[in-house]
Every structure is written in structure tokens, then in C-alpha cells.
């Protein structure tokens, strides 16, 4: 197939392009040429800016387009207008963040979506990300009725994840010593390896299959303890988990999600459904999951290639973790209330 990719050189897009090339597809990448510009020399490169310059796409046709970096409605509107008569299928990579109410557990693809309000700026923030992507989905479906594909990943993990949200845990456990583990060991979470997401998305495109799919996993329930135990089993070493009460962490200003990835306090009722997304439709359509140990191993191997002075985007700095653990143990010794 002749595939056009909008983006394609960072994390999710990178894995999609790698998988497409491995499957024998002919790739055209359209982007600004700023991120990893030397990747994929075997693919055709078209340079432009989806915000204001799509001229490089004129007069061409592809079997499908993969829109990996559409975040703003105006970007998606311009792309669909340009490509409406130039592609057979429009595949849009969205997010589970599109749902309106994460107090609800077990939401499927038909759950209500977040809505943009007149006072929301068209800038991507924690508050606007979901509504903006929801509106982008709607624009794709309106422009390409019957021949659009919307894939909604949850937390995407694996090699080349520049956010460090998953990478922090394999790296931290591999470093050894006492590891601060947040909240309840039984805390349920969901994630999907970027390579599994790529394989699923491409299989749908190859089959000419449209629709909307929640794409996260794994198939069986996963807990925080299982994640950290897997990191320990893969990396070896002398890591020792200390489970620290969430009230203690919150009292000391520890930030869920950013400082301790995958941790959302039980008290956060607004997001209690974030890791309980219904993915039965996607699994029935072929979404499958590699063993978590493989994801951990490959993520560690990739992280080892980064420079020692890499600036981490998520996770507790070592000194902050040590201080919190020392205070936690001191409080337990004197019987301080929790």
C-alpha cells in the first residue's frame, strides 16, 4: 500500500512507520523535518507545516493517510480538506482522554465525549487536550464518512518514549536500592506497547476497516505491584519496594502521574475510570499484547543508549525520593499517625 504519514518520526509515529516499512508498504512522510530528520531514508520525505503549508501534498494520491500529530481542530480541518479526494482511508490517532467523565468506570467507544467550550483556548493543555482531540475525531468522521478510522490509545509505553512516564519505573527499579512505590500495590492500571498499537492500526488499515477503537491493555488486569515486580524480574539487582501511603505523599506535595507515573490516588474520583477503559471491540478486531517483560526489557535497553545527563521528564529525582523515604520511616518508628 502507498501510505502517507503526517508526522512519523517521534515515538508512536516512529513505531508506526517502522512497522509499515517492515510490512512492505511504501511510505511518504510529511512533517517539518525538525524531529529526527535522519530517520527512515528509505521513505519519501515531503516537508511542510500542517498549520499553514500543505502545498507539498497537492496532486498526489495515497491508499491511506495516518494522522499521528493532529492535535488542533484547525490542523485536522486543513488536512481533511486537502486529502478528502486523495486518500482511500483516513486513520486518526486519538486518545482515551476524549471521554467526558472519567468518574465512570468501564467506558466503551460509545461513551460521551468531552466538548470544547467557547472559553477554551486552542492550545494543548491538560484541560484542553481531551476536548480538542474529541473535536478532531468528529471533524475526521464528518469529512470522511464511512472511510475514517479512529484509534484511541491509552498510556503508550515502550522504547523511544520521550515522556519518560513508563521508562522511569524500569530504570528506577534497575538502579536498585530502596524504591518508593506509591499507594496500593493492587492499584489497577492500563497500558499498551507502541509496537502493539502500531501492528493493530496497520492491520485495520490493510483491511480497509474503519470505525472507532479504544486501544489500551493488557488483556488481563494489571496491578502496580505486577508492573514493579516485572521490572525487578527483568532487571535483577537489589531493588526493594517500600509502599508509601498516598495520604503521606499528597501531604508532602508529591505529584501523581508526573513525579510518580501511573499513580492516581484513590481520592481522585475525577479520574478513577482512567485505567478501566473497555477495549473489547479492539481485541475482537485483533489488538493483542506482547508480554510485559518484553516491553520492560526493550525499554531498558533503549534507555541505556541515552546520555548519562539525560533530563528526565517524569519521576522523582533521587534526592527527593531519599528524603521522602527517610521521613516515611522516621514517622513509622515514632508511631506518627498516617
pLDDT value at position 54? 97
Res 118: pLDDT: 86
Q: Cα(229)–Cα(60) distance, rounded to whole angstroms? A: 50
Q: pLDDT at position 120, please?
A: 85
Q: Are 83 and 131 in contact (CB under 8 A)?
A: no
Residue 124 near residue 132 (C-beta atoms within 8 A): yes
Domain 2-153: state its class.
Answer: alpha beta
Per-residue pLDDT at 122: 84
The stretches in the chain having pLDDT less than 70 are: 333-338
Q: What is the pTM of this model?
A: 0.96
| Number of Cα atoms under 13 Å in the Cβ half of residue 61 | 4
168-190+220-272+292-331 topology per CATH: UDP-galactose 4-epimerase; domain 1 (3.90.25)
What Rg, from alpha-carbon coordinates, does the chain have? 21
Cα(193)–Cα(155) distance, integer angstroms: 9
Count CB-CB contacts under 10 A for residue 149. Answer: 25
CA dist., res. 181 & res. 170, Å (int):
13
Distance separating the N- and C-terminal Cα atoms of the chain: 60
Secondary structure element (H or E) that encloses residue 77, with its range:
helix 73-83
Domain positions in the chain are 2-153, 168-190+220-272+292-331
Angstrom distance (rounded) from CA 16 to CA 149: 15
pLDDT at site 334: 61
Amino acid at each position: 500500500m502507498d501510505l502517507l504519514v503526517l508526522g512519523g518520526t517521534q515515538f508512536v509515529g516512529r513505531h508506526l512507520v517502522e512497522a509499515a516499512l517492515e510490512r512492505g508498504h511504501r511510505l511518504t512522510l510529511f512533517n517539518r523535518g525538525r524531529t529526527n530528520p535522519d530517520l527512515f531514508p528509505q521513505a519519501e520525505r515531503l516537508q511542510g507545516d500542517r498549520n499553514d503549508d500543505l502545498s507539498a501534498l497537492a496532486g498526489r494520491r495515497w491508499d491511506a493517510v495516518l494522522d499521528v500529530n493532529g492535535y488542533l481542530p484547525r490542523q485536522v480541518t486543513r488536512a481533511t480538506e486537502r486529502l478528502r479526494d486523495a486518500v482511500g482511508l483516513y486513520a486518526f490517532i486519538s486518545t482515551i482522554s476524549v471521554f467526558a467523565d472519567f468518574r465512570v468506570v468501564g467506558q466503551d467507544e460509545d461513551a460521551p465525549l468531552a466538548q470544547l467550550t467557547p472559553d477554551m483556548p486552542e492550545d494543548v493543555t491538560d484541560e484542553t487536550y481531551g476536548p480538542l482531540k474529541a473535536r478532531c475525531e468528529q471533524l475526521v468522521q464528518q469529512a470522511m464518512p464511512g472511510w475514517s478510522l479512529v484509534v484511541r490509545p491509552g498510556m503508550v509505553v515502550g522504547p523511544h518514549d520521550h515522556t519518560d512516564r513508563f521508562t522511569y519505573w524500569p530504570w528506577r527499579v534497575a538502579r536498585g536500592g530502596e524504591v518508593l512505590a506509591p499507594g496500593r500495590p493492587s492499584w489497577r492500571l492500563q497500558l499498551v506497547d507502541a509496537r502493539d498499537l502500531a501492528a493493530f492500526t496497520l492491520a485495520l488499515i490493510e483491511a480497509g476497516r474503519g470505525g472507532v477503537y479504544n486501544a489500551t491493555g493488557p488483556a488481563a488486569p494489571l496491578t502496580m505491584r505486577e508492573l514493579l515486580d516485572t521490572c525487578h524480574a527483568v532487571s535483577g539487582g537489589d531493588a526493594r519496594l517500600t509502599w508509601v501511603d498516598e495520604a503521606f505523599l499528597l501531604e508532602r506535595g508529591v505529584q501523581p502521574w508526573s513525579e510518580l507515573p501511573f499513580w492516581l490516588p484513590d481520592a481522585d474520583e475525577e479520574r478513577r475510570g482512567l485505567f478501566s477503559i473497555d477495549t473489547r471491540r479492539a481485541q475482537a478486531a485483533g489488538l493483542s499484547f506482547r508480554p510485559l517483560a518484553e516491553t520492560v526489557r526493550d525499554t531498558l535497553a533503549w534507555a541505556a543508549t541515552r546520555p548519562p545527563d539525560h533530563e528526565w521528564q517524569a519521576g522523582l529525582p533521587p534526592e527527593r525520593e531519599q528524603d521522602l523515604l527517610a521521613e516515611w520511616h522516621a514517622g513509622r518508628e515514632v508511631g506518627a499517625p498516617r
